[in-house]
Amino acid sequence: MATIQFTIYGAEQKCASCVHLPSARETMEWLEAALVRKYPEKPMTFHYVDIEEPITEEEQKFAEAILNDEYFYPLVILNGDVVAEGNPNLKMVSQKVDELFANS
């Protein structure tokens, strides 16, 4: 079974429309806690990327897309595919995880 990789993109400063929502880093933390609890036997990794300091080419691509208003942050990437943005819905993210595990 392959490891599922989550990458969450965000910034230290919240966007204007996100004032009452958790920060991108806090979103990653609750998403990780919820999914690890829901799938305790499934291998998953979680990685946070600050859109002001991307490192890899892929991180740069997504960071630029966010900065160009193509996506809202926090942006949740699951194995290279966008699964949520803005205020991620746990049920929707879980459905994507279930689909991956069903197909592996």
Task: Provide the pLDDT for residue 101.
Answer: 81
Regions of the chain with pLDDT less than 70: 1, 13-20, 104
Task: Provide the pLDDT for residue 86.
Answer: 85
The architecture that CATH gives domain 22-41+51-92 is 3-Layer(aba) Sandwich (3.40)
DSSP character for 13?
S
- Between the two ends of the chain, the Cα-to-Cα distance in Å is 7
Task: Provide the pLDDT for residue 102.
Answer: 82
C-alpha radius of gyration, the chain, whole number: 13
Neighbours of 60 (CB within 10 A): 13
The first and second tokens of residue 3, run together, are 């490891």
Query: Domain boundaries in the chain?
Result: 22-41+51-92
Neighbours of 14 (CB within 10 A): 17
Q: Show Cβ contacts of residue 83 under 8 Å, excluding neighbours closer than 6 positions.
A: 76, 77, 92, 93, 96
pLDDT tens per residue, range 57-71: 999 999 999 999 999
Task: Provide the pLDDT for residue 14.
Answer: 58
User: What is the pTM (predicted TM-score) of this model?
Assistant: 0.88
